[in-house]
Amino acid sequence: MKKILLIFAFLLANVSFAQVLIAQELYEGTISKDIKVSFYLKIEEDDCPRTVVSAIYKYQNNKQDNWILLETTFSEQKQQYTFVEHFNTGLMLLHRSGNELKGTWISPDGKKQLPVQLTKVKTSKEQIEKLEDTLEKEHYNAYDC
Q: What is the DSSP letter of 65?
A: -
Q: 18 φ, ψ to 5°?
A: -70, 145
Are 55 and 72 in contact by the 8 Å Cβ rule? The answer is: yes
Lowest average pLDDT, out of 16-20, 29-33, 99-103, 122-126, goes to: 16-20
Are 123 and 26 in contact by the 8 Å Cβ rule? The answer is: yes
Q: Which tens digit of pLDDT belongs to each residue from 47-77?
A: 787 888 999 999 999 888 899 999 999 888 8
Domains of the chain, earliest start first: 19-143 (2.40.128.120)
Are 84 and 91 in contact by the 8 Å Cβ rule? The answer is: yes
Looking at the chain, the whole-number percentage of residues with pLDDT higher than 70 is 87
Q: What is the DSSP letter of 7?
A: H
